[in-house]
């Protein structure tokens, strides 16, 4: 056999051997479908609805799993998140887990500050008092934070605020002094001016200083002629009669001033010129 054919045969054998030993390429497995945010959002809503049905059926353990699943990715709207937390609080309260009940209510209110129970829910003996306690505590904390971050009041406004606190505490003599100082210092806004005089009048009437009380009420009408007491204030036995008298006297004084001004204007009005004589 010639050398050339032998070489060709050898190459063919080598190629056959190499192809036999080659590792086949792995088959491509199909990729799993991508999970989108919308899919998770829809799933969360389904779990929330399932949890509510389970709760109504008394399946509390399953309801807890569903509500926690609905909250897992944080994709529910705030109102729905608060609803899930509400039911978790209900379940904790009826299971005598008050600390967990309080925590769930707190988280519901932190998510949605406007969150509230329905009248029927608020009256429940297990969780109604717990919810009111948590809500009041959070409101106090928010008020304290707002007061801390608020700019300092001007002197007159601070005197008014201090006077209001003393009045609420029943320290009427001290409150009256602070309100008088606030008015003298010069409150900027008309509502604050009215408020200061109103509480000054209240303090005077409570001290049976009726003349001063009436005078303070009268000064209010010079600032705000349409001023009226709030419904809860208007029926108070200490000042309701005095307020009505002050209002009537102020109106009479305004009417008298208007009549006098009209009469003065008429007196000062120049006489009309005589009509020209008719020609014959």
Q: Which residue has the higher pLDDT, 187 or 19?
A: 187
Average pLDDT, the chain: 87
The alpha carbon dihedral of 179, 185, 186, 189 has a sign of negative
pLDDT at 224 over 90: yes
List the one residue out of 225, 238, 241, 155 whose CA is nearest residue 199: 238
The length of the chain is 280
Yes or no: say if 200 and 180 are a contact pair by the CB < 8 Å rule.
yes
In the prediction, which pLDDT does 151 show?
83
Mean pLDDT value across residues 224-247? 93
239-272 pLDDT tens trace: 999 999 999 999 999 999 888 888 887 777 666 5
43-96 pLDDT tens trace: 999 999 999 999 999 999 999 999 999 998 788 999 999 999 999 999 999 999
pLDDT at 18 over 70: no
In the prediction, which pLDDT does 90 show?
96
Q: Which domains does the chain have, with CATH numbers?
A: 40-148 (1.25.40.10), 155-263 (1.25.40.10)
In the prediction, which pLDDT does 38 show?
87
Q: In the chain, what percentage of residues exceed pLDDT 90?
A: 67
């Amino acid at each position: 056999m010639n050398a050339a054919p032998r070489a060709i045969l050898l190459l063919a054998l080598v190629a056959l051997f190499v192809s036999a030993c080659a590792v086949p390429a792995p088959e491509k497995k199909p990729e799993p479908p991508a999970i989108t945010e919308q899919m998770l959002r829809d799933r969360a809503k389904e779990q929330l609805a399932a949890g509510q049905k389970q709760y109504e059926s008394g399946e509390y353990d399953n309801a807890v799993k569903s509500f926690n699943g609905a909250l897992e990715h944080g994709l529910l709207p705030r109102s729905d998140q608060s609803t899930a937390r509400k039911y978790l609080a209900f379940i904790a309260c009826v299971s005598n887990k008050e600390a967990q009940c309080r925590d769930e209510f707190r988280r519901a209110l932190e998510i949605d500050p406007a969150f509230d129970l329905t009248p029927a829910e608020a009256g429940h003996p297990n969780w109604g008092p717990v919810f009111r306690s948590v809500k009041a505590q959070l409101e106090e904390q928010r008020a304290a934070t707002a007061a801390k971050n608020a700019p300092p009041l001007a002197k007159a406004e601070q005197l008014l605020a201090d006077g209001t606190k003393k009045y609420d505490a029943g320290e009427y003599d001290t409150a009256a002094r602070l309100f008088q100082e606030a008015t003298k210092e010069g409150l900027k806004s008309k509502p604050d001016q009215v408020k200061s005089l109103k509480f000054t009048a209240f303090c005077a009437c409570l001290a049976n200083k009726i003349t001063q009380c009436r005078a303070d009420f009268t000064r209010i009408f010079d600032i705000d002629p349409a001023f009226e007491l709030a419904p809860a204030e208007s029926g108070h036995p200490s000042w309701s009669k005095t307020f009505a008298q002050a209002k009537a006297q102020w109106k009479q004084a305004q009417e008298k001033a208007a009549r006098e001004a009209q009469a003065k204007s008429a007196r000062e009005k120049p006489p009309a010129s005589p009509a020209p004589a008719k020609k014959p």
